[in-house]
Amino acid sequence: MTLPVMQIGADNDVSAATAAPPPILGTYKRPPVEMVRGNGVYLYDETGKAYLDFASGIAVNALGYNDAGIAGAIKDALQTGLLHTSNLYRTRPGEELAQFLVDNSFASSVFFCNSGAEANEGAFKFARKFGRSISPEKTGIVSLRGAFHGRLFASLAATDRPAYQAPFLPLTPGVSIVERTIEDLDAALDARTVAAVIVEPVQGEGGVRVIDHGLLAELRALTHERRIALIFDEIQCGFGRTGTLFAYEQTGVVPDMITVAKPMAGGLPMGAVLMSAEIASEIKPGDHGTTFGGGPFVASVALHVVKRLAEPALLQQVRDNGEWFGEELLTVKRRTGRVRAVRGMGLMWGMDVVEPAAGVVARAMDAGMLILSAGEYTLRLLPPLVITRNELREGLARLEEVLK
């Protein structure tokens, strides 16, 4: 058989359409610069250009880059030679880390995993097991308008992004998204069929929205009454980001579970579900599992990081700097006329801008500053928690310049 001869560049040239996909799957559109090192609150590309980092690897690098304490914790963890043993055997670092989290929260037990989405998927399973212990039909999961809970099948179903969902339908059944009003929640939270409601106390990807504490209190009352597990997704807003170790501490509400991840192990992948004794007592060997979750190496590093993030002086600094920074962002809004609204708390801030956020993010990068978007017209600022007032000032000046 003779194949037709194709001429490059001619009408029948399909090379663009059939070009080999990139070695790293194209799930992200990345700018061409290559990041090669980091120090403090700065990242550096291959040309040596410095970027003031108000993205923190999407809320992961809470202690900044090249932190001596993390480096020391990594060295110490290597001494044992135990990178991994599996969850079939006991190891001390995970036990100490779980104890620390229990001692510093409402929780009585912790399940370790490797990412945020995995933590939410685990929490949904635990909630369903708890729901089924009450009634066989109590399996539904409710999330809120604007929510982002991850990219796996159940966490994606709970994520309010139709465009992320559409190509992958059908998603996990029994998950619904409800408006952020007590009337809608009251109507949706059927005691017979709903096992859990999941809420980000501060919505991150959905536009940096602090959920009203009054709404959370009413939601807590409803969920108590109907025996529905209240899950707080603190994957982005937890571990000091809002100025307390956990965001729930400032809401006046104690949930039944919280999910955490991002900054937990200083950049190594780790997530966790913290839960009440009532939920934990329903979970038996074999109900859930993970090969890597809570392994000795990552747990040793996490123990160091979480202890640092729990230090009262650091949390006070986040609250003080956050309050000041929020005021300064309002000044930027006034001076540029390019900002519609400023929202946030601690070191988690969003700004609605009058142009597509992607353009501002790109101009900021050119100007040597990393920021994020959270929706089409919202900028998201998540500097490392260790950032100084002067570094925040530098960021504000650059941001104002970029917005003008």
Ligand X SMILES: Cc1ncc(COP(=O)(O)O)c(C=O)c1O
For ligand X, the binding residues (CB under 6 A) are 58, 115-117, 120, 148-150, 200, 204-205, 233, 235-236, 261
Q: 35, 368 in Cβ contact below 8 A?
A: no
DSSP 324-378: HHHHHHHHHHHHHS-EEEEEEETTEEEEEESS-HHHHHHHHHHTTEE-EESSTTE
d(Cα 94, Cα 48) in Å, to the nearest integer? 38
Least Cβ distance, residue 387 to ligand X (angstroms): 20
Minimal CB distance to ligand X: which residue? Answer: 116
Q: Of 44 and 153, which has the nearer Cβ to ligand X?
A: 153
Q: Of 113 and 403, which has the nearer Cβ to ligand X?
A: 113
Least Cβ distance, residue 141 to ligand X (angstroms): 14
Q: Of 147 and 283, which has the nearer Cβ to ligand X?
A: 147
Q: 121, 290 in Cβ contact below 8 A?
A: no
Q: Of 109 and 120, which has the nearer Cβ to ligand X?
A: 120
Which amino acid, 278? Answer: E
Least Cβ distance, residue 234 to ligand X (angstroms): 8
d(Cα 184, Cα 204) in Å, to the nearest integer? 22
- Strand 140-144 to 194-199 pairing: parallel
Edge-to-edge strands, sheet with 339-345: 339-345, 348-353, 378-381, 372-373
Least Cβ distance, residue 262 to ligand X (angstroms): 7
Q: Of 133 and 165, which has the nearer Cβ to ligand X?
A: 165
Least Cβ distance, residue 209 to ligand X (angstroms): 12
Residues 6+ apart with CB under 8 A from 55: 370, 371, 372, 382
Least Cβ distance, residue 155 to ligand X (angstroms): 7
Helix (H), strand (E) counts: the chain: 14, 17
Q: Of 236 and 244, which has the nearer Cβ to ligand X?
A: 236
Q: Of 235 and 332, which has the nearer Cβ to ligand X?
A: 235
Report, in this order, helix, strand and coil percent for the chain, each rounded to 5.
40, 20, 40
Least Cβ distance, residue 149 to ligand X (angstroms): 5
d(Cα 366, Cα 368) in Å, to the nearest integer? 5
Q: Of 40 and 375, which has the nearer Cβ to ligand X?
A: 375
Find, among 230, 260, 273, 293, the residue nearest to 122 by Cα.
Answer: 273
Least Cβ distance, residue 10 to ligand X (angstroms): 44
Q: What letter does residue 127 receive in the DSSP assignment?
A: H
